[in-house]
Amino acid sequence: MIRYSLRCDKGHDFDGWFRSSDAFEGLRKAGQVACAQCGSTEVQKSLMSPSVPAKSAAKDAPLSQPQNPMEAALDKLRKHVEANSDYVGLKFADEARAMHEGRSPNRAIHGEARPEEARKLIEDGVPVAPLPFAPRQKAN
């Protein structure tokens, strides 16, 4: 996973996590990366330095605890999504399309899709949106 510092055309700064640089570019070009404050999809990477914690800070800070209000909000969102939807892993695109076409019952799902799969779903009118965090489950 890659964390980017992002800035919208209105000057709002926010962070985003992506599977790769190509994944970021694909989602950005598809209009799926939006400002957390104003919703603008005119988003660019901004300059950032690597975040390397000091040894003592890395030992003392538990990885699972949010370190700031933004991380706390993302943790709350993750818990809500995990509690209220089914994880379908790498079958996300197929399952979303099946629900959209009426071949599968509608329900809340989350999972993983390649950028080209996500782009095709959007082009076909299937309502999907990227989540601002990586899934906890490991897909095979």
The model's pLDDT over 47-73, given as tens digits with 9 standing for 90+, comes to 665 656 665 554 555 556 778 888 888
Residues 31 and 1 in one domain: yes
Nearest to 79 by CA among 64, 61, 60: 64
Q: What is the mean pLDDT of residues 32-49?
A: 84
Residues 42 and 77 in one domain: no
Residues 78 and 119 in one domain: yes
How many domains is the chain built from?
2
Residues 85 and 122 in one domain: yes
**DSSP labels, 76-108:** HHHHHHHHHSEEEETTHHHHHHHHHTTSS----
1 is in which domain, residue-wise? 1-46
List the 2-8 sheet strands across, edge first. Answer: 13-18, 2-8, 43-45
CATH number of the domain to which 37 belongs: 2.20.28
Contact 27, 33 (CB under 8 A): yes
Q: Is residue 107 part of a domain?
A: yes
